[in-house]
Amino acid sequence: MPKRQLLCIALAAACATPALAAKPSPDDPDVRAAALVSQMSDEELGVLVHGRMAIPFMGLTVPEGAILGAGYVPGIARLGIPALTESDASLGVAWIMGLRKDGATALPSGSALASSWDPDLLRAGGAMIGGEAHAKGFNVLLAGGVNLIRDPRNGRTFEYLGEDPWLAGTLGGASIAGIQSTHVLSTVKHFALNDQETGRQFHDVHIGDPAARESDLLAFQLAIERGQPGSVMCSYNKIHGAWGCENDPLLNGVLRGDWAYKGFVMSDWGAVHAVDYALKGLDQQSGEQLDRGVSFAALPDLAKTDARYAVRLREMNQRILRSMFAVGIDKDPPVIHPIDFKANGDVAEKAALEGIVLLQNKDGALPLSLQTKRISVIGGFADSGVISGGGSSQVQGEAGPGVSIPLSGAGPMAGFMQQAYHKSPPLTAIRALVPGAEVTYRDGRYIADAVVAARKADVAIVFATQWMTEGLDQPDLSLPNGQDALIAAVAAANPRTIVVLETGGAVLMPWLSATPAVLEAWYPGARGGEAIAAILFGKANPSGRLPFTFPASESQLPRPVLPGSTTIEADFFGNSKPGETLDVDYDVEGADVGYRWFARKGEKPLFAFGHGLSYTSFETEGLRLKAGKPLVAEATVRNTGARAGAEVVQLYLVSANGKPTLRLVGYQRVELAPGESHPVSVAIDPRLVANYEDGGWHQSAGNYQFAIGRSATHVGDAVEVKLPELRWQDVGRAARAGTEGKRGRNRK
Ligand code: BGC
């Protein structure tokens, strides 16, 4: 392998221009893109840089040649350049308010997928939804949401992959790689710091550069390195006064400067406010009808009189084409063909099984015996399906939801405001598992009625739901519609009350001490009912671990009141009025997101990041650190119980050079038969140990302590290792400074 190529792999990111490589192959995506750009007419240079919505609503029509989906960018037939046919999103091919009738396989929510702590699962899920997109004629999936859960009230919590940059970045990268393995181009989104929906089109985030690099930006950086997404979708919000899609420091400085990202930046839908965003790093305008009078179609004309536009227009085309070729969407164009929904449902069910988290299990209340005689199932539309999250990521199976509750009767976005349930009723699945039992169902609307049913039963199972959607945040962390009172009353009537939560994110549990067992099933996707039943009755052993902290109260959060929540009227698109702004101060917690904030403040959460119980027990022993590049941690995990199960070994940095700290620096999910032991080995990314300062990463010399944790609040004995001082820069910055290849070396 040529030396330069080896170096590129070692640096784990894109390298400098192919022109420098010894002999660029004509198949090289950069070379192919450059050859095409050189043949494009002025008019053709304006084709790929803007797209339209392909949704027939609000007076719009589906453009000719497009497929009904989020967006469409026409191709250039003369040059053999295919059109881009775009669909949402990370959980499957979107249903778009029922405008698409064909149905798709819904993965469980992002919070469920992240609870698996299993990159292989995310990769398989990505390949499954990529395959469905391909079979429906799409070659772009608007997937890869890795915004961190800075606030559990964020309405898109269910789409994202938790509060920790290493977890979200590694899992997001795996999902993107899975999608792109099907030659469907994936985004990573929403770049960046788009961590609340309230005022989403005008809130202005403030955070110091080092803190951003160590938290939200690190999640993106890792997902990009691992997934190599063809595109980065820039976000609606402002960061330090500039909108995400005009944010020169982020797009040109960090993304394509420091990280040497070679793909293209596409806008979120309705996030472009001026044509000069092209000069600030935006390569492609999406869904331009939402941008009210602003269109990148004007760029070829601007290029005639302004050299800056002329240069950028070529670069924008180069980047878009380069990604199309790198992903291979031209070599393997999507062809509409039937989908094996049975096989894909199996993928979704496995994901649900790995993602469900057993939060509490007193006195072995779970699993339930298959000999149980009388079971009372209550609430949560458990007779009809499992809840799903709303907005652009909403997926539905063929013929749509089992139940759909309209939550807003009027306006063009009413179609999105539907609390929709996948047709996978837990009640049916429970009855199938215990055919000899009498299983009754009460809808839970009336507490007295539910209590009568619960009293007569050997076991009561209450299903409680919390609907979330893009565009709106949760006002607080309570379960809506009086469900807390329902659970408390049922638990008082029957001490064997099991609570199954189907929530997008964290909720408070005022009734927790009155119930022996709580299962967090999230939005469990196309086969969620089956997965829940399998775990309740011990056909499967729960192995999910929380990807974010469950607070005991909103007062423990960095911002006890969500910014804007008391002043801004909820609006799906969150459109701003001229001059309107909402400052959001992330310097409060800085890089100490979620569990790190709780540790810093000494706050005790309701359930900690990383928490999750099993029907078996595990021990992890023999932690040792092997200094080197990279630093490696090794240990042995053993299943000490009587059932097969999976443990997630979590490695935390607990003290850095004498300073107490708490950072997840590695994890590994291991399946173990009863009594079985398995070695685990975790290579620690140096960025998780270092701090970002003065434009680079800095690991100070000293003693560092690491410990294995069952969660962020249950860490074992620390093991110390001495580390040298290291300073290095991200690959692009190092290349500019002429220090490429010295990453990880001591250059003090
Ligand atoms: C969302 C994006 C989505 C896009 C296209 C926007 O409202 O923020 O995540 O990909 O719509 O549907």
Atom of ligand 1 at shortest range from CA of 287: 5
What's the confidence (pLDDT) of residue 740?
Answer: 60
Q: Which of 395-404, 564-573, 596-605 has the highest mean pLDDT?
A: 596-605
CA-nearest residue, atom 3 of ligand 1: 392
b/e per residue 684-693 (b: at least 16 CB within 10 A):
bbbbbbbbbe
State whether 181 and 317 are in the same domain.
Answer: yes
Cβ(90) – ligand 1 distance below 6 Å: no
Atom of ligand 1 at shortest range from CA of 392: 12
Q: What is the CATH number of the domain that holds 685?
A: 2.60.40.10
State whether 321 and 400 are in the same domain.
Answer: no
Q: What is the CATH number of the domain that holds 432?
A: 3.40.50.1700
The number of folded domains in the chain is 3
258 and 732 Cβ atoms separated by less than 8 Å: yes
Separation of CA 516 and ligand 1 centre (Å): 40
What's the confidence (pLDDT) of residue 176?
Answer: 99
Atom of ligand 1 at shortest range from CA of 286: 5
Cβ(572) – ligand 1 distance below 6 Å: no
State whether 114 and 237 are in the same domain.
Answer: yes
State whether 256 and 182 are in the same domain.
Answer: yes
State whether 320 and 229 are in the same domain.
Answer: yes
Atom of ligand 1 at shortest range from CA of 159: 9
* 597 lies in some domain: no
The angle subtended at Cα 207 by Cα 201 and Cα 211, nearest 5°, is 130
CA-nearest residue, atom 6 of ligand 1: 269
* 528 lies in some domain: yes
Exposed / middle / buried, residue 660 (Cβ in 10 Å: 0-12, 13-18, 19+): exposed
Lookup result for tokens 């790190």 = 596
Separation of CA 254 and ligand 1 centre (Å): 23
What's the confidence (pLDDT) of residue 14?
Answer: 37
Cβ(392) – ligand 1 distance below 6 Å: yes
Cβ(268) – ligand 1 distance below 6 Å: yes
What's the confidence (pLDDT) of residue 126?
Answer: 99
b/e per residue 458-484 (b: at least 16 CB within 10 A):
bbbbbbbbbbbbbbbbbeebbbeeebb
Average pLDDT over residues 630-635: 97
Separation of CA 268 and ligand 1 centre (Å): 6
Q: What is the CATH number of the domain that holds 239?
A: 3.20.20.300
Cβ(159) – ligand 1 distance below 6 Å: no
Residue-wise pLDDT for 443-457, tens only, equals 999 999 999 999 999
State whether 180 and 265 are in the same domain.
Answer: yes
* 1 lies in some domain: no
DSSP 684-727: EPGGGTSEEETTEEEE-SEEEEEEEEEETTEE---EEEEE--EE
Separation of CA 212 and ligand 1 centre (Å): 23
State whether 661 and 542 are in the same domain.
Answer: no
Cβ(269) – ligand 1 distance below 6 Å: yes
Closest among 565, 55, 574 to 271, alpha carbons compared: 574
Separation of CA 532 and ligand 1 centre (Å): 30
- In which band, very low, low, confident or very high, does the pLDDT at 408 lie, cut at 50, 70 and 90? confident
- In which band, very low, low, confident or very high, does the pLDDT at 413 lie, cut at 50, 70 and 90? confident
Average pLDDT over residues 336-351: 97
For the chain, the residue count is: 748
% of residues, the chain, pLDDT over 90: 89
Separation of CA 729 and ligand 1 centre (Å): 33
| 172-176, 410-414, 526-530: the lowest-pLDDT one | 410-414
* 48 lies in some domain: no
Query: Which one of 291, 392, 473 would you pick to mutate in the ligand 1 pocket, going by the greatest count of ligand atoms within 8 A of its CB?
Result: 392
Report d(CA 506, CA 164) in Å as an integer: 15
86, β-bridge pairs: 71, 140
* 24 lies in some domain: no
CA-nearest residue, atom 4 of ligand 1: 269
Helices (H), 206-339: 209-214, 216-227, 248, 299-305, 307-327
Residue-wise pLDDT for 702-724, tens only, equals 999 999 999 999 999 999 999 99
State whether 183 and 278 are in the same domain.
Answer: yes
Report d(CA 132, CA 138) in Å as an integer: 9
Report d(CA 492, CA 485) in Å as an integer: 11
C-alpha pair distances (Å), 28 with each of 2, 79, 210, 318, 568: 15, 17, 35, 13, 49
214 and 690 Cβ atoms separated by less than 8 Å: no
Cβ(254) – ligand 1 distance below 6 Å: no
Separation of CA 645 and ligand 1 centre (Å): 37
Cβ(70) – ligand 1 distance below 6 Å: yes
DSSP-derived letter for residue 587 is T
Structural domain ending residue among the three candidates 517, 538, 554: 554
Query: Which one of 146, 269, 575 would you pick to mutate in the ligand 1 pocket, going by the greatest count of ligand atoms within 8 A of its CB?
Result: 269
State whether 265 and 380 are in the same domain.
Answer: no
Separation of CA 271 and ligand 1 centre (Å): 10
Domain that holds residue 292: 80-92+101-327
Q: What mean pLDDT value characterizes the chain?
A: 94
Cα 330–chain centre separation:
27
* 414 lies in some domain: yes
CA-nearest residue, atom 2 of ligand 1: 268
